Structure 1
Amino acid sequence: MVVNSQTNSVAQLSHRIVAGLGAVLVPLSIVGGVLSPVYVSGSLAAETPRTQSSQPENPFIQQAEKLQSEGKLKDAIALWQQVLQQAQTTHDRSTQKIALLGLGNAHKELKEYPLALSYYDRAKSLMEADSNPEELGRLWAALGFTYRDAGQLDQALPALQKSLGFKQQVRDRLGEGVILRSIGRLYEQRRNYQDAIAYYQRSLDVFVALKDLKWQGFAWNGLGRSYSAMGQHNPAIEAFQKSLQLVRQQKDVQGEADILTSIGMTFNEAGQPAKAVEYLQPAVVLHRSLKSRVEEARVLVQLGSANHSLGKNEIAIEQLNRGLALSEEIGNSAIRVNALTNLGIFYLNTGNPQKALTLFETGLQEAKKQKNLAQEQNLMSQLGVLYSQLGEHLKAIEYMQGSRERAKQLGDQSVEALELNNLGTIYYGLGQYRLALEHHFQSLELARKLGNRQIEGVNLGSIGIIYRATGNYEKAIQYAEDCLKIARELNNPIEETTTLLDLGLAYRRVDLAKSTPYFQQALELAEKINHIGLAGKARGNLATNYFDQRNYQQAAILFQKSVEIAVKTRDLREQGVALTNLGHSLFRLKQYPAAEKALQDSIAIWEIQRAELNRTDSKSSDRYKISLFERQRISYRLLQQVLVADQRPEMALETAERGRARALIELVARKHQGKNALEIAPPTIEQMKQTAKALNATLVSYSLISDDLNDGPKPEYGDAYVYIWVVSPEGVVTFRQSDIRPLWQNEKLKLNDLVLGSRQLLGARGRSGIKVVAVNTPERDSEDVLKALHQILIKPIQAQLPEDENASVIIIPQGFLFTIPFAALQDEQDRSLIEKHTLLTAPSIQALDLTLALKKSVPSTTNAIVVGNPAMPKVQVADGTTEVLDSLPGAEAEAKAIAQVLNTQPLIGAQARKSEVLKRLPKASIIHFATHGLLDDLYQREFPGAIALAPDQPQQVNDGLLTTDEMLNENFSLSADLVVLSACDTGRGRITGDGVVGLSRSLIAAGVPSVVVSLWAVSDNSTSDLMRSFYRNLQSLKPTPGTVTNLNYKAQALRRAMLETKQKYPAPYHWAAFTLVGRGF
């Protein structure tokens, strides 16, 4: 199976999630909160009411107006005050009105809006008494503009409406047009774009009738901005082109530069970056010639955005950095934040999320400092995108909801619709398809209400992808086709190309041959618009089709081209994916050296990406690495296949170990040894042999290998082989493999079905009595399933296992193999594996080796802590409801019995408060929890796992839970030599490429070398018996405190306990659930 850009669930919608935030990076019209270029704001001088009167010969008035025009506002105010006092003395009402207007205008220019309004109000009293509509028209305009500039938009609108009435009354057509345009701009500021367009159009009709070219240009510009904000890019560009034509007729170079900028930004937002560059390039030249450094910086950022969209990343990064440097040089915060945001998107898109995170956070701090709500909103949205791609879905939701709230505060329903779309995308990534569809349909409804066809199309595409993911291909195709219509209507080639890819992916599931034309169309369009990134994706999907048709030669040619493009665009993520696919194709062609090189190069890229994450705190770094490795693990498995096919199984084991539990290993090393990831090299074969010798143990490492399960024309991918390596204490390495394809071919079963079936047939259930989900394992009973698993996993290596039943056999599973009760697997003579061997489990050989460095002496039991049946907390479960966990009386009896063996007092009921337990944990040498262990049934938890303790505040939801989050904290460290989790399913968790993410992993990360967990919750009686037997045997087998003579006494104690329990309760359900994770001493 090859990897493509649509494989990962979040990546499937990545083009949708960025489309509204600037897949083509972020347009300044959103980021900076800027409604218009300088050209438009310069035109506002005509909005200021004139002070001339019928007394132009008054030299003081003329001098005051001259001072004001020269910007000497304080001097002008002083002179206006003199004029006003003289006019009041002489009772000259006309001059009083002129002076009051002059004072209002001067204070308005000084942004002293309350003073300006007070002078206008005084002028209004005189004018209303005189009932002069011409004067009142000017006065109400002044009041409206001042309210608007002061941010009091609700007061500004009625003032301008009154001015409009007076302008129409005196037939002042130019004044009428100016006020109509000003009302349009006011509606634009309020993000009511439909009303804005209506008023801009009315003003345009007036200016056309007057043949006033300058004001026609202003009106067309306002129409362009409003259409653009509604996502109606075609009419926006048409309006801007009209405005450009008019400013060129007037030889207005500044206006030309600004309109070129607006057109370029609109093409950028419309998914036409090549056209954007065509307009932005001359714009930046004009701004530079005009020495307009602010606009030059603004346009450089936009150019960088467009060139990044085209895949011209070397040019893009140079332009973005120049824009950032210039914005810092001139001290323009808004443009600086815009540049930081676009640089962040650049690094996120090219595979450097850590650098993107730093840039986004820096930008957000600056936006908050400047109280720029629009920029805050956008950066929170970008952080949501980033965390979504990193798999940090809860953080992503938090940021997207914050962005949506700010959009509401801004009154920007278009952005609110986008954030609803983005939230839907994140819920899709979480696998919560119902919630995802709810958000997308809400966004779709709002977009249609606003008439925003762009956002409507984005949602249609996203909904189609969700239907494709859920197997409803008919609806997926229907929604994608609707999206395609809108993309073509809006002339958005990027969205059109992306949707063609979506259609190809949907048809691939129905009819492989039908998908190829869509990928070919997408490739032709991407090449036509010179979009390197989308061309690479189209080429990759075509190559995947060739691969699935078993035309590996043609697939390899196209994947090689994808590698070259990804190198050219500096896109590490796409480069790694393309190299993986190339390696897979070359493997199929039996070109093993070339395949190995491609896969090694791919893995080198993945490891560079993971190393970047070490700059964050250990808990965040751990999460990101786990998420990242989910998308990367196929490269490691393919390389194992190549090396095995090339007769180098020992190197394949090194590769398997290189890709196993790396995040956990780096976390343990960082927390307890102060080492970084680059200092923790994967182990060599010789080092693995040394580990086996040091532990005097036989290491058994498993690897699941995916492949085509069918021989027919249509591929069906799944786990096809199990690779098994055995490393003996003497340093002998043996390799075997099990071919499990017959399971599928003969019974339509996959190995995971058999594993889940084993749990079902064993009767595994939680202490609350909830059974595991039933799995179809036709005509098999529990013994049959256990024997089948033994045949696959144990029989091939049976001869390599030790004859001594007390010798350690340490099993290193992979994926869902962690959930297998290895102790219960049966051979042909009906003997369980535990009868013949002493078993342990470990996440990886290197993780096992790290536990050797944690503690080596045998602990005393005087510091034991035993917790049983705490007063149960109230928790929020998966569906969002709250409930109090069931009491566990059997666990209480168990804890009391164990406490007697360990010579300590148990913490029962309210005594087991979380705060009390946390206070005692650091000094404890043995810790025993007999309580609920919660997995993925908690509401919206990023990683599963919590131990239920008594709450300190019983009414508070989730109070009393000791979570994996807390245990992964850098300051959480335990000195315990052994922790026992005698609770529900404590050995399970979320299965990831890094292993089982759950309670045992978090405890190992906290410094515990040995953890006993259960794969299911056993009945109270058998659990109590097994645990008492375990601790009695532990006491009798342990060496003298302070020494280590028996390297396996913990595992031997657990084995004896299991065998003793088996005699009383023969069914594996009662005794096979428990396993020791870590080292045996």
Structure 2
Amino acid sequence: MLLKCLWLSSALSLATVVLGSPSLAAARPPFSPKPFLSAAPLAQRPEPEDDLILQVSDRLTPGDDTLQDGSLYDTHTVNADAGQTLTIRLESADFDTYLLLLDDQGNTLAENDDTDAEDLNATITYTTGYSGSYTVIANAYDASGQGQYQLTVRIVSPHHGSTPDRTADQHYADAVRLWQQGQLQPAFNTLELALAQYQAAENTSEVAKVNQGLGIVSHDLGHYDRAIGYLETSLALFQAAGDLGGEADALSGLGLVNLSRGQYEAAESYAQQALPLYREVNDLAGEAIELDHLGQIAGYRGEYDTALTYLEQGLALRRQLGNLRDIARSLNNLASIRTFQGRYELALTHYDEALATIEPLGDMASQATVLTNIGVIYGYQGQYPQALDYHQQSLALARETESVSAEGQALNNLGLAYTLLGQYDKSLMHFEQALAIARDLDDRAGESIYLGNIASVYDEQGHKTQAISLLEASLKMRQDIGDRAGEGETLNNLGTLYDDLGDYDSALRYYTDSLAISREIGSRYTEGRTLSNMGVTYTHQNQYDQALSFFQQALEIFAETGDRVAAANARRRIGELQYQSGQLPEATATLADTVNQLEEIRAAELPDAEQVALFETQRAAYMTYQAVLIAQNEIEAALEISEQGRARAFAERLAANVPNPTAAAARAESPSIEEIRAMARSQQATFVEYALIQPNPKDEAQLFIWVVQPTGDVDFRAQPLASAAQSGDPSETALTTLVNQLRHSVGVGNRGLGVVTASAAGQGNSYQALYTQLITPIADLLPTDPDAPVVFIPQDLLFQVPFAALQRADNTYLIEQHTILTAPSIQVWGLTQQAAQTARGGRFDNALVVGNPVMPTVWSPQQETPHPLPALPGAQQEALDIATLLGTHAVLGAEATEQSVKQALPSAQLVHLATHGLLEYGNVEDSGIRDLPGAIALAPGNGEDGLLTAAEILELPWTADLVVLSACDTGRGHITGDGVMGLSRSLMTKGVPSVVVSLWSVPDAPTAALMAEFYRQLTTGQNKAQALRQAMLATLQQHPHPRDWAAFTLLGSPE
């Protein structure tokens, strides 16, 4: 009888992710819970039966005798002759064992805790000194130990240790330990040594067992054909010997391999053959394994009631046997079926019980598996912070136990979680680490899966050719090992890539092959994704009726399996088709349901960067919903959805700084149209909100513009955005070209590193053309009073537009007509107004002015060397002039350390920083650091590196009413649906109501002039927006090129 209490991994425990647009769901669920699929695994070779003098299976339970330390024990007696060598072995899967041997007077002859560093069971080898009785104490290591144990006492023949079989036994034992540690290839190699020695000794029974072990390890390595060869050899030998238990073990292994290959019919056949054999030999543990297999097969077919029946029968048997590890295994597998059903609370109940069952045993590798499966549940529920936390716990335990295969699986699951969050750099890093482990282990199944997941990241990053190459390699590997489920998934993902490339015939061919396989093997997950993807391809071919049919079929499957993210994506696609077909009321209802479901998924409390990344994957639904509402002239409702679809993470973080939690929660809600009107009225401000709308990439893009006037009236304008000439990308519009031309006209450079001289060529065309696109449609709605605030709410590339410099046909600039502010959303602007009202004390009572610090050293991945930033003598003079104007001391040079600035910031009402801004800090490719984007250069020292990062800004207490970042490109950053991810966002998130930033690097002389005039205007009583306008107008007289005065913009409150 072979030991069956190990936790085997399976290729089924790993999942692939979606290729293509974020709207398409994965080929499997976002995560797959890892089932514990057991076949008769590896076990130590038993000694000859005639050497066995005692064999006991019993339990330590409360009420048994105890030693002085409170630990439970049982007493057993054996008889032996003088000079005999006894091997006494105490094993338990439930507690840490301790073994004592006493003579007939009660004296301790020998004791043992652990056999060795890797074997925590207890073993004593002792040569007897007299003939008579000896007492064996089966003891738990401490007072908490209780449960099932096995005790054996054997007489070792004097010559036994020198036989060839004994050497083979040692190899076999070594292989078991390597396998338990996840060292699969070394385990395989060591088993081959044992096999050769058993074959040389013509020990047929052991040859059969080693072949069975080689089959299991080959399975774990993904060598399925090789595994079948070994297991079939084992089966033939067991059958020839009439060993029914061994025959059942081999059949069980064959069933496991076919289950992992997705060959469910063959797997079921082997399980149905093994089950009656286990029952015939009264092997309850083996019977439970086959019930487990049958349950998993039914689960993958979507036959959940049948699956639960099998698994519950197996659990009952395991409870009867009392082996805690096996009980936890059954609970885990029941939870996996509940997961597939979408019964997440029930699944968590099973997982929690499994974890509680396994924790007292100290089996960290098994705990790691349950933890990652709990992470799977939270991933399904869209609760990504919890998912990440559990996967990271699993990874830590896998590393602590040196279980490298489990480590690879945990890394893969983390990669999948980060992919769903849209954090592709992190997902790629985790997938590549998992791939390296798989290759070290020669784990072909894992390697094929990780290649597919890396391909998904390359696809998201636009590297289609590399993605196809990786997927083709993965497909061949899966076909070679006979992984039908994986083959179907990979065909599905290749279809998505070819759809992206516009090769629709190839896409449909791959999808059709994938659909056939998924239906053949009963994989509802791949079937649902493939149906959805076929709907996308038919949509691209304008075959809307066929597309709608496929999306509806997919939605039925997603609803049945409880996959909320995939269901929301399918609903959104159906809404798009209804919109394109003119079914506007139906589209409205469908998209309203979609947005509500996405809001529920997004409601989890994620870290800021992850919240932003998740929302990026969901923006398409909000875009289409706006288009549908506008098509029905629901202008105000569309504005509400526009607000709901932008800067939500920003607003929630900003609202969290409100002292009253109830008020904070209310303020984090997206504003209604009445709340938007009230903000415009109370501040007598004009809001201009832009939305770039393109529901279908093949449709012409449109620019939506809402204007909310100080009266509360809401007006709307829309105009088409023609595709850019000479561009094959339909999303590349003439507006994109104009913005890029304008940016080029002002030059791009780092302050003090040499400002690029702007060319006047094309300047008038780009500034005036952008005025025509962005301002002309709404010019009649803007206030006539030049001091009245106009708040622009850009989107996407419009954050890069210097609205002050947009130019009418008569060559006058917009700043000459209006007082201009910008904000990522009306909601965020309103929250900054509230922050301004609660700002403490006088605005300039305590000013902190910093200029030209001793520069820190930064590391460049491109140069692969650290280098110091250059000094900024112009910034030093700027700081001196401003400090004089404000009547304060300028912090310069070596005095301007990061430590001293951090100490001064919490009490400063006004902060002016004239130094380098590092836009790319936090981008690992550009700075070698992975962090929130953005950093401000200060002097290093006293344990500080001289970089005040965006992440550190979020950790500091701020009371400032105004922060001016007089540094290069401080208003730029990675643009998302949440706005510009950079320094200004971190400051405003911390409650700073007004921030002045620069959209590009400005020469020293005009910067100094503009800043001096800005502060002079403030001292005369002008508000911040009016002061900045007057400073721009004054600088315009001396430095007429927009490069010299139009870069600075005020974010947030004007007051």
Give the TM interval when normalised to the shorter protein. Answer: 0.7 to 0.9
2:753 maps to 1:762: no
Alignment match, 1:33: none
Residues 895 and 47 (structure 1), Cα distance of their counterparts in 2 relative to 1, 3 Å cut: same
Alignment match, 1:951: 940
2:429 maps to 1:420: no
Alignment match, 1:299: 330
* 1:182-581 → structure 2 map (5 Å cutoff): 204=234, 207=237, 211-214=241-244, 216-217=246-247, 220=250, 244=274, 247-248=277-278, 250-254=280-284, 256-260=286-290, 263=293, 282=310, 284-286=312-314, 288-289=316-317, 291-292=320-321, 294=324, 295=326, 297-305=328-336, 308=339, 311-314=340-343, 318=346, 321-322=349-350, 324-325=352-353, 328=356, 338-357=369-388, 359-360=390-391, 378-379=409-410, 381-392=412-423, 400=430, 419-420=431-432, 447=439, 452-459=443-450, 461-462=452-453, 465=456, 477=468, 480-508=471-499, 509-581=501-573
Shift of 1:499: 2.0
Separation in 2, partners of 1:495, 1:163: 33
* 1:696-845 → structure 2 map (5 Å cutoff): 696-707=684-695, 716=698, 720-741=701-722, 743=724, 749-769=733-753, 781-845=762-826
The RMSD of aligned alpha carbons is 4.9
Shift of 1:240: 6.5
Whether contact under 8 Å (2:191, 2:214) holds in the other structure is no
Separation in 2, partners of 1:121, 1:773: 96
Shift of 1:50: 5.5
Among candidates 117, 126, 129, match of residue 119 of structure 1: 126
Alignment match, 1:886: 870
Q: Which has the higher helix share?
A: 1
Residues 259 and 657 (structure 1), Cα distance of their counterparts in 2 relative to 1, 3 Å cut: closer
* 1:589-600 → structure 2 map (5 Å cutoff): 589-600=581-592
Q: Which has the higher strand share?
A: 2
Whether contact under 8 Å (1:107, 1:113) holds in the other structure is no
Separation in 1, partners of 2:57, 2:636: 85
SS at match of 1:1018: coil
Shift of 1:1053: 1.3
Separation in 2, partners of 1:479, 1:381: 16
Among candidates 2, 26, 31, match of residue 34 of structure 2: 26
**Structure 1, unaligned stretches of length 5 or more?**
30-35, 53-61, 88-95, 401-418, 423-439, 709-714, 1039-1048
Shift of 1:755: 0.7
Separation in 2, partners of 1:133, 1:547: 75
SS at match of 2:496: helix
| Cα distance per residue 1:506-564 (max 9 Å; x no partner) | 33214224423333343344344443333232222222223222333443444344444
Whether contact under 8 Å (1:214, 1:246) holds in the other structure is no
Residues 505 and 901 (structure 1), Cα distance of their counterparts in 2 relative to 1, 3 Å cut: same
| Cα distance per residue 1:730-765 (max 9 Å; x no partner) | 333221123222655999753222212101022243
Separation in 2, partners of 1:881, 1:164: 54
Whether contact under 8 Å (1:51, 1:102) holds in the other structure is no
Alignment match, 1:1041: none
Residues 921 and 225 (structure 1), Cα distance of their counterparts in 2 relative to 1, 3 Å cut: farther
AA partner of residue 682 (structure 1): S
Residues 319 and 603 (structure 1), Cα distance of their counterparts in 2 relative to 1, 3 Å cut: closer
SS at match of 1:119: strand
Whether contact under 8 Å (2:897, 2:940) holds in the other structure is yes
Paired residue total: 960
Among candidates 595, 614, 621, match of residue 603 of structure 1: 595
Residues 292 and 756 (structure 1), Cα distance of their counterparts in 2 relative to 1, 3 Å cut: farther
Among candidates 589, 608, 632, match of residue 646 of structure 1: 632
Separation in 1, partners of 2:455, 2:192: 46
2:597 maps to 1:585: no
| Cα distance per residue 1:851-897 (max 9 Å; x no partner) | 22223378343311011111111223454643222211111111111
Among candidates 997, 1002, 1022, match of residue 986 of structure 2: 1002
Among candidates 1033, 1046, 1052, match of residue 1059 of structure 1: 1033
Shift of 1:1056: 1.5
| Cα distance per residue 1:434-471 (max 9 Å; x no partner) | xxxxxx6x67xx64x86544234335545655675676
AA partner of residue 420 (structure 1): E
Shift of 1:973: 2.8
Alignment match, 1:990: 974
Among candidates 885, 902, 913, match of residue 918 of structure 1: 902
Shift of 1:266: 8.8
Shift of 1:208: 5.3
Separation in 1, partners of 2:717, 2:217: 73
Residues 847 and 826 (structure 1), Cα distance of their counterparts in 2 relative to 1, 3 Å cut: same
Alignment match, 1:59: none
2:1045 maps to 1:1071: yes
**Structure 2, unaligned stretches of length 5 or more?**
1-16, 61-71, 92-98, 102-110, 117-121, 131-153, 921-925
AA partner of residue 895 (structure 2): Q
Separation in 2, partners of 1:890, 1:1071: 16
* 1:675-694 → structure 2 map (5 Å cutoff): 675=661, 676-677=664-665, 680-694=668-682
Shift of 1:1068: 0.8
Separation in 2, partners of 1:532, 1:840: 52
Alignment match, 2:649: 663
Separation in 1, partners of 2:236, 2:757: 72
Q: Identity rate of aligned residues, in percent?
A: 32
SS at match of 2:527: helix
Separation in 1, partners of 2:189, 2:725: 74
Whether contact under 8 Å (1:457, 1:487) holds in the other structure is yes
| Cα distance per residue 1:628-673 (max 9 Å; x no partner) | 2101222222222122211121222222122221111111111234
Shift of 1:975: 1.2
Whether contact under 8 Å (2:909, 2:960) holds in the other structure is yes
Whether contact under 8 Å (1:143, 1:156) holds in the other structure is no
**1058-1067 or 484-493, larger mean C-alpha shift:** 484-493
Whether contact under 8 Å (2:651, 2:827) holds in the other structure is yes
Separation in 2, partners of 1:201, 1:525: 26
Whether contact under 8 Å (1:394, 1:941) holds in the other structure is no
Separation in 1, partners of 2:335, 2:413: 17
Give the TM-score taking structure 1 as reference length.
0.77
Separation in 1, partners of 2:127, 2:177: 14
Residues 1070 and 130 (structure 1), Cα distance of their counterparts in 2 relative to 1, 3 Å cut: closer
AA partner of residue 874 (structure 1): T
Separation in 2, partners of 1:164, 1:964: 61
Whether contact under 8 Å (1:839, 1:1051) holds in the other structure is yes
Give the TM-score taking structure 2 as reference length.
0.79
Alignment match, 2:611: 625
